[in-house]
Amino acid sequence: MRKRYLIEISKDDQAVVACPSHLIEGRSLKRIAFGSKSMEVEFIPLTEKKTRIILSEKVSDALHFPDFSFPLHLFFENQTMYIGPLIGIFTAGFTPFPYRPIGERSVFFSKLLSVNKTVGVLSFVFGEQHIDWEHGLIKGYFFHEHEWRAFDVPFPNVIYDRLPNRKSERNPLQKSVKEQLQKDYLIPWYNPGFFNKLDIHERLQQESSVARYLPETHSFSSFSMIERMLSDYGHIFVKPINGSLGLGVHQVIYDKHKNDYFCRYQEYKGVNRLRKFSSLETLFKSVFAHQNLEKVLVQQGIHLLRYEQRIIDFRVHTNKDDNGEWKVTAIAAKIAGAGSVTTHVRSGGEIKTLEEIFAKDESQQYKEKLTTVSLQLSKALERNIEGIIGEIGFDLGIDRNGDVWLFEANSKPGRSIFKHPELKDFDLLTRKLSMAFAIFLTEQSIMYPEDIYK
């Protein structure tokens, strides 16, 4: 574990920084940096054994260091001491209300920022409207001592992308901000972009190590293709290429004995429907009449494990840690609601731990399989996707033969599984690691920038 130092501010009008003598010896330190701001200072050794750094008021004002007494990490390069990391969490949907600056999502962000002290980082939330390009400052929203506070701080060491949806991501202004901060200021930007289901599938198909976990998946092309897949698998799923939360997912089932077609889906009012049709064409004309079939994909149906006659799939979270290594941080079972085509909670699904639904040996066996596959998939995705990925949420299934299948990978996974009381610790772990990864990225960008910007 990296050592952290408490950052304190003294009433001093000189450009001085006091720190433990062993940090000064052999380093010829001349500058201190916080985020994008740096300045020349005099370093004074402290004879005490405390692990603290004391900034004079003149230094803290020049660096725009907020008035927090906080343990942070230190990085050294080119006679400069860097304190941080300073993490900017980029999002949209700000409000004028100081107690809920990001509207309903303020609660999520307050929980995310609450790990600052335990991880040893300073993170804040901001939007494009909070950037002062002329002075190199951002009005950042910090959650400190149970309240929201705004400070003008330097541009951060790294940026964590938490744009809420694809619409905000496509906004030209947001895209311009991202491009400028990445290219002109060389700030590492992690978890950029929502995944496109078909694109992810096609990229992973090229990886021999994980191709066996992929169900047959195609963009819609013809009824004959669907007929062939129904003949092979008995049922298929038709889902939006850019969908989320299980919205727009349809299960199409073929009864070869009676030559009937069934479609299971959820209507907009939340009602689960199962309808019968005499032909595939009739089914599509009725159910998909107002849908652009060029924007849907067709996926092989899998005969999944069941619990009390209801299908089960699994949500697995993976995160990169402060050493840049992938870790599995949470596993939960999701059980479909009665008559539902998906396992989402909004469709009547339930969250369970593996131990609640499987015997001890079986639970351990499935946990090991899901862990192994998720780590393989995380590394494969990282090799095949542009940008820096720090977390992924996988929707995986296990069939009756015990084989694992990938249904979806999410770059900004939802957090509904953490409402389960037995998963609270994993909720905290995922939040900690999503911040801790920024420590690794900060160190890389300072000491080995060519590895990030290659």
Asked whether residue 207 falls in the same domain as residue 331, the answer is yes
Q: Does residue 237 lie in a domain region? A: yes
Query: Considering only CA atoms, which of 308, 316, 320 is closest in space to residue 333?
Result: 316
Q: Does residue 14 lie in a domain region? A: yes
Asked whether residue 309 falls in the same domain as residue 423, the answer is yes
How would you classify the pairing of strands 250-255 and 260-266? antiparallel
Q: How far apart are CA 4 and CA 446, in angstroms?
A: 17
Q: Given 285, 300, 315, which residue is the final one in a domain?
A: 300
> What does the pLDDT read at residue 245?
57
Q: Does residue 452 lie in a domain region? A: no
Beta bridge partners of 346: none
Asked whether residue 116 falls in the same domain as residue 201, the answer is no
Asked whether residue 208 falls in the same domain as residue 343, the answer is yes
Asked whether residue 318 falls in the same domain as residue 437, the answer is yes
Range of the domain at 108: 86-187
Asked whether residue 371 falls in the same domain as residue 417, the answer is yes
Residues of the chain with pLDDT under 70: 1, 243-247, 268-270, 339, 344-348, 453-454
Q: Does residue 447 lie in a domain region? A: no
Asked whether residue 282 falls in the same domain as residue 310, the answer is no
Asked whether residue 239 falls in the same domain as residue 282, the answer is yes
Asked whether residue 207 falls in the same domain as residue 355, the answer is yes
Number of domains present in the structure of the chain: 4
Query: Considering only CA atoms, which of 256, 209, 199 is closest in space to residue 231?
Result: 256
Asked whether residue 291 falls in the same domain as residue 318, the answer is no
> What does the pLDDT read at residue 446?
94
Q: Does residue 451 lie in a domain region? A: no
Contact 161, 206 (CB under 8 A): no
Write out pLDDT tens, residues 141-168: 999 988 999 999 999 999 999 999 888 9
> What does the pLDDT read at residue 440?
96
Contact 311, 304 (CB under 8 A): yes
Q: Does residue 249 lie in a domain region? A: yes
CATH number of the domain at 35, please: 2.40.40
> What does the pLDDT read at residue 346?
64
Q: Given 169, 187, 205, which residue is the final one in a domain?
A: 187
Ramachandran bin of 281, using left for φ above 0, alpha for ψ from -120 to 50, beta for the remaining angles = alpha
CB atoms within 10 A of CB 294: 9
Asked whether residue 205 falls in the same domain as residue 179, the answer is no
* Residue corresponding to tokens 């080995």: 448
With both helix axes pointing from N to C terminus, report the angle between 360-384 and 197-205 in degrees, rounded to the nearest 10.
90
CATH number of the domain at 320, please: 3.30.470.20
> What does the pLDDT read at residue 127?
97
Q: What average pLDDT does the chain have? A: 91
Q: Does residue 448 lie in a domain region? A: no
> What does the pLDDT read at residue 269?
67
Asked whether residue 287 falls in the same domain as residue 428, the answer is no
Q: Which residues contact 78 (CB under 8 A, 6 or more apart)?
A: none
Q: Given 83, 104, 139, which residue is the final one in a domain?
A: 83
Q: Does residue 450 lie in a domain region? A: no
HEC profile of 297-362: EEEECCCECEECCEEEEEEEEEEECCCCCEEEEEEEEEECCCCCCCCCHHHCCEEECHHHHCCHHH
> What does the pLDDT read at residue 337?
77
